[in-house]
Structure 1
């Protein structure tokens, strides 16, 4: 039992030292030397070199062309797998929470699933006064509302028309568009502005602002939006909401590109 316990401690010690070596790399330190490792581990340079050679043999490190050692291909493979392990909602939630807290409003993440617009995540601000009932998994109208129109706007025109023609379009308020040609003109305007503002299209008292979230292939993978009561959005605040949504969607798009890279 003693020998086994000692072996376990020894293995942990080796693992700890290996992690220390890998943890030496940073944005400001892309190469390390045996002397650097010896200082960090407080060991002889020959011992440090053995650790380095073990990491080289397993492709976690490689010898740099001009001396020293740099991160190897195995680290890049693990980074790629780590990025893939994060789902869209996991990547989006920190951005959504920050935006909801900043604005004090409900923030939604929606996707096109087959021919339906689905709310896949929602966040509310920590000090939010008014809460709107958009639940995860709920189906939203395809022809009305900021999120739906953003998701349609970056499709090919033939795809958008085909989706809009699948079933009769419902009119919710006098502001709802149900004519496909009018909707296509609206989608063109949204692409030009890179943001969709929907006033009283689904509910006469609600305004929505949405922006596209792009994936690594340049396609729109989701819409990020904020929904709130119209009385809470005077003209000056509308500009602030549009800027905040645009910035957050850009941040999220960049994170998804890194995840998919």
Structure 2
């Protein structure tokens, strides 16, 4: 298992448990004990014992088919991550979600992944995209991650979508993460929160992507203005 036993000053059991949660987080449809044991190179008995400990504290849950998923305790802890930007973003995201009639989000870059910190669903739209805070996606896929990359210095080799997002001020994705879903996002114009983006995810293409793009840029600017 990654990192296990590499440094005697650290806890091997804790490291193993954290690695298990990372692997479970990458499988929203669930993952079995056997798969986790194979992925980590750890005996099934050890993996089972670690999962029971995590499940007792609701960090993971086991469904009727024996598959493990992340538990609600992680969502509770997520409230305490970056509380300032969360507090600034939440009311603005609520307004954005209702204005566009689509699911709004605040997303943060974590290494080469984009992590959804806040997800706000519209209350009036008959249909909308639904996903959990804490969901991770590759940074180079989807509007939220592309928007974050577009705020970084130009690289010699970069994705065309990143260059396009930088040119117009907002990123667009079509079906990159979910079939049929349209994403529009913009980076937060704030030096301390340059690795953040906000945006919306829609089930159908908007009549005017530019209009939605402007709304998302306004929301990003409003969040940045509220953060000291």
TM-score normalized with structure 1 length: 0.51
User: Among 103, 113, 118, which residue is 2:115 paired with?
Assistant: 118
- 1:222 and 2:193 matched: no
User: Among 86, 89, 96, which residue is 1:92 paired with?
Assistant: 89
Cα displacement (A) at 1:242: 1.5
Cα displacement (A) at 1:98: 0.8
Secondary structure of 1:87 counterpart: helix
Paired residue for 2:6? none
Cα displacement (A) at 1:202: 2.2
Paired residue for 2:169? 194
Secondary structure of 2:126 counterpart: coil
Deviations 1:196-245 (A, max 9, x none): 11122222311000011122x37614110100112xx34x3323211211
Give the aligned CA root-mean-square deviation in angstroms. Answer: 2.2
Paired residue for 2:221? 250
Paired residue for 1:156? 153
Paired residue for 2:99? 102
CA distance in 1 between partners of 2:210 and 2:153 (Å): 29
Asked if the contact 1:195/1:209 (under 8 Å) is kept, the reply is: yes
1:174-193 correspondence to structure 2 within 5 Å: 181=157, 183=159, 185-193=160-168
CA distance in 2 between partners of 1:243 and 1:114 (Å): 28
Highest Rg: 1 or 2?
1
Deviations 1:21-44 (A, max 9, x none): xxxxxxxxxxxxxxxxxxxxxxxx
Cα displacement (A) at 1:86: 5.3
1:131-170 correspondence to structure 2 within 5 Å: 131-157=128-154
CA distance in 1 between partners of 2:150 and 2:221 (Å): 17
Paired residue for 1:26? none
TM-score normalized with structure 2 length: 0.58
Distance 1:131 1:219, change over 3 A: closer
Question: Gaps (5+ residues) in structure 1?
Answer: 1-84, 162-180
CA distance in 2 between partners of 1:255 and 1:182 (Å): 31
Paired residue for 1:238? 209
Secondary structure of 2:89 counterpart: helix
